[in-house]
């Protein structure tokens, strides 16, 4: 359970000997649909979940950084804001340090600070727990310093932190969801220009529950696989003579199949069809409601399994078992190679879906999955 702001402030004072300047929080996300489309300048439709990272922060008069979390066994970590060393950064502290580094790269003077982190975003589950930390930290620093960033700047700065300090070649979906979400809505984001439209997504009012099935599989080569997919997409765009795969349409696929090697073609086909599925999902949510999107979730999963090849046996089993238990649509969410699946489930079928997934995992001798429901929540904000 996440600590309330009073409890977090009093722990902060106990550790650092003074009250924090404030407390900020930012959520993790579930991507409803639109996977591996963000770095192809395409469309995504994530929503923020009711699981957050919270940071209590106090600026210091010197350049010392002192960071502690309420979880794990990393203990108090110190660094110097004047000489950040990405090779020496360890564990979760890479994320606040990466944000500070990215802001410094933009010419902003970021002083030392004391920081206490709490989070109930499951780690390693494909729910953007690292971005939740980065977004909480950047929102805090934007408020406490003269940084004066707007939300688009904060999205780009956190991507800079992820790409060039943490070392993960990710796009802009996760931080956009965390920074820009509104409760009861999904964030329809055009990753070419960061244009956003909030799309009503109230599963509960439609008699549905959005279940997350955390397979607890965390593939050690996930990052290598992610980078390899990015490279395939870049190769595809280059051969097809477009700026990004966003510029390839259905009508181009036939010609593309003759120009690309079979594997690159499958990668391209996933991105092209996935962009289209995002647009269709938005239209259905706006005109028919969440009940109507199940088959698009299923089609998205099949495309990731067969064309983009980022699923794994546990994710496929979670999706198939959830469907057989009564879910109206299911897909893996996030970067893939492990992590979580989502299952859009009629409220009355929730026990049957849970039982079907748990039974399937037990039969396959997989570790028991973690299954919980999430709601579309609001974005990053100051708590105290
Ligand atoms: C990770 C990245 C995102 C996005 C997804 C895949 O979550 O951080 O930028 O590329 O994978 O859709």
CATH number for position 313: 3.30.70.890
Overall average pLDDT of the 187-199 stretch: 98
Ligand 1 pocket test: which of 33, 38, 156 has the largest number of ligand atoms within 8 Å of its C-beta?
Answer: 38
d(CA 197, CA 189): 7
Residue 220: what pLDDT? 53
Q: 188 and 228: one domain?
A: no
Residues 253, 318 within the same domain:
yes
- For 107, phi and psi rounded to 5 degrees? 85, 10
Q: Are 180 and 231 within one domain?
A: no
Residues 28 and 150 in one domain: yes
Are 323 and 233 in a shared domain?
Answer: yes
Per-residue pLDDT reduced to its tens digit, 275-315? 999 999 999 999 999 999 999 999 999 999 999 999 999 99
pTM here is: 0.97
Is the CB–ligand 1 distance for residue 170 below 6 Å? yes
Distances (CA, A) of 237 to 156, 231, 259, 269: 23, 10, 11, 12
- Of 49, 129, 335, best ligand 1 pocket probe by most atoms within 8 Å of the beta carbon: 335
State the closest ligand 1 atom to the C-alpha of 128, by its place in the atom list counted from 1. Answer: 7
139 closest CA partner among 348, 351, 382, 303: 382
Is the confidence at residue 221, as pLDDT, over 60?
Answer: no
Asked whether residue 13 falls in the same domain as residue 136, the answer is: yes
Range(s) of the domain holding residue 258: 204-374
**Distance (Å) from CA 226 to ligand 1 centroid:** 9
Together in a domain, 225 and 368? yes
Which of 171, 277, 301 has the most ligand 1 atoms within 8 A of CB, as the residue to mutate?
Answer: 171
Q: Is the predicted pLDDT of residue 251 greater than 80, yes or no?
A: yes
pLDDT band at 146 (very low <50, low <70, confident <90, very high): confident
Average pLDDT over residues 132-157: 97
Over the stretch 60-89, which tens digit does the pLDDT of each residue have? 999 999 999 999 999 999 999 999 999 999
How many angstroms separate the CA atoms of 44 and 187, rounded? Answer: 8
Q: What is the mean pLDDT of residues 353-371?
A: 98
Note the Cα 71 to chain centre separation in Å.
Answer: 20
Listed in sequence order, the residues at least 6 apart from 354 whose beta carbon sits closer than 8 Å to its beta carbon are 211, 325, 371
Q: Is the CB of 274 under 6 A from ligand 1?
A: no
Whose Cα sits closest to atom 9 in ligand 1?
171
- Judge if 219 and 308 occupy the same domain: yes
Question: pLDDT tier at 219 (50, 70, 90 boundaries)?
Answer: low
Atom of ligand 1 nearest to the CA of 39: 10
Same domain membership, residue 184 and residue 211: no
- Residue nearest ligand 1's atom 8 by CA: 170
Mark whether 193 and 332 lie in a shared domain.
no
Is the beta carbon of 33 within 6 A of some atom in ligand 1?
no
- Quick one: pLDDT at residue 218? 85
Count how many domains the chain has: 2
User: In terms of domains, do 304 and 368 share one?
Assistant: yes
Report the alpha-carbon distance of residue 12 to residue 120 in Å, rounded: 18
Instruction: Provide the annotated active-site residues.
Output: 174
The set of residues, in sequence order, having a beta carbon less than 8 Å from that of 87 and lying 6+ positions away, is none
Mean pLDDT of the chain: 97
pLDDT given at position 222: 62
Residues 9, 81 within the same domain: yes
How far is it, in rounded angstroms, from Cα 199 to Cα 230? 28
Other residues' Cβ atoms within 10 Å of the Cβ of residue 298: 18
Residue 161 CB less than 6 A away from ligand 1: no
Confidence at residue 176, expressed as pLDDT on a 0 to 100 scale: 98
């Amino acid at each position: 359970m996440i600590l309330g702001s009073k409890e977090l402030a009093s722990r902060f004072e106990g550790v650092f000997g003074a009250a924090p300047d404030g407390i900020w929080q930012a959520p993790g996300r579930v991507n409803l649909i639109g996977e591996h489309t963000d770095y192809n300048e395409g469309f995504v439709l994530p929503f923020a979940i009711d699981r957050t990272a919270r940071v209590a922060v106090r600026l210091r008069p010197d350049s010392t950084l002192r960071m502690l979390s309420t979880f794990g066994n990393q203990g108090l970590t110190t660094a110097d804001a004047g000489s950040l060393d990405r090779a020496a950064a360890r564990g979760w502290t890479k994320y606040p340090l990466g944000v500070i580094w990215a802001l410094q790269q933009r010419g902003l003077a970021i002083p030392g600070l004391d920081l206490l982190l709490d989070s109930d975003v499951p780690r390693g589950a494909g729910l953007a727990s690292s971005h939740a930390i980065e977004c909480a930290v950047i929102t805090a620093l934007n408020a406490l310093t003269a940084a004066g960033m707007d939300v688009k700047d904060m999205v780009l700065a956190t991507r800079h932190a992820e790409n060039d300090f943490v070392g993960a070649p990710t796009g802009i979906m996760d931080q956009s969801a965390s920074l820009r979400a509104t409760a009861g809505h999904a964030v329809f984001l055009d990753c070419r220009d960061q244009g956003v439209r909030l799309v009503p997504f109230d599963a509960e009012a439609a008699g549905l529950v959005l279940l997350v099935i955390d397979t607890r599989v965390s593939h050690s080569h996930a990052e290598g696989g992610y980078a390899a997919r990015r490279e395939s997409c870049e190769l595809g765009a280059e051969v097809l003579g477009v700026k990004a795969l966003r510029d390839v349409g259905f009508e181009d696929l036939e010609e593309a199949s003759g120009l690309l090697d079979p594997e690159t073609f499958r990668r391209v086909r996933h991105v092209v069809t996935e962009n289209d599925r995002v647009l269709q999902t938005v239209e259905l949510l706006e005109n028919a409601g969440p009940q109507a999107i199940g088959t698009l979730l299923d089609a998205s999963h099949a495309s990731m399994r067969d064309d983009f090849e980022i699923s794994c046996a546990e994710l496929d089993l979670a999706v198939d078992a959830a469907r057989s238990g009564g879910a109206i649509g299911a897909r893996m969410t996030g970067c893939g190679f492990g992590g979580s699946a989502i299952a859009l489930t009629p409220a009355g079928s929730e026990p049957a879906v849970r039982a079907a997934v748990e039974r399937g995992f037990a039969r396959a001798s997989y570790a028991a999955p973690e299954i919980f429901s999430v709601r579309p929540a609001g974005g990053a904000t100051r708590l105290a």
